[in-house]
Amino acid sequence: MLKVDNIDVYYGAIHALKGISLEVNQGEIVTLIGANGAGKSTTLKTISGLLKPKSGAIYFEGQNITGKKAPDIVKMGISQVPEGRRVFANLTVLENLELGAYLRNDKQGIQEDMEKVFVRFPRLKERLKQLAGTLSGGEQQMLAMGRALMSRPRVLLLDEPSMGLAPILVQEIFNIIKDINATGTTILLVEQNAHMALSIAHKAYVLETGKIVLSGPAQELAQSEEVKKAYLGG
Domain boundaries 2-84+152-231, corresponding CATH code: 3.40.50.300
Supply the pLDDT for residue 74: 93
List the helix and strand counts (H, then E) for the chain.
10, 10
Supply the pLDDT for residue 35: 87
Helix or strand holding residue 177 (H, E): helix 167-182
Supply the pLDDT for residue 192: 87
Answer for the pair 218, 204: CB distance below 8 angstroms, yes or no. yes
- 3-class DSSP assignment, residue 65: coil
DSSP state of 49: T
Extract the runs of DSSP E, i.e. beta strands, from 101-210: 155-159, 186-190, 203-208
Q: Indicate whether this model's pTM tops 0.75.
A: yes
Supply the pLDDT for residue 15: 96
Extract the runs of DSSP E, i.e. beta strands, from the chain: 2-11, 14-24, 29-34, 55-60, 63-64, 78-81, 155-159, 186-190, 203-208, 211-217
Residue of 123, 155, 164, 158 whose CA lies nearest to 142: 123
What is the radius of gyration, based on Cα positions, of the chain? 17
Taking the chain (234 residues) in runs of 10, the rounded mean pLDDT of each run is: 97 95 97 92 96 97 95 94 88 94 89 92 93 92 93 94 88 92 96 92 96 96 90 72
Listed in sequence order, the residues at least 6 apart from 32 whose beta carbon sits closer than 8 Å to its beta carbon are: 22, 40, 43, 188, 189, 190, 191, 204, 205, 206, 207
Virtual torsion, Cα 33, 35, 37, 39, nearest 10 deg: -20
Supply the pLDDT for residue 103: 81
Supply the pLDDT for residue 234: 56
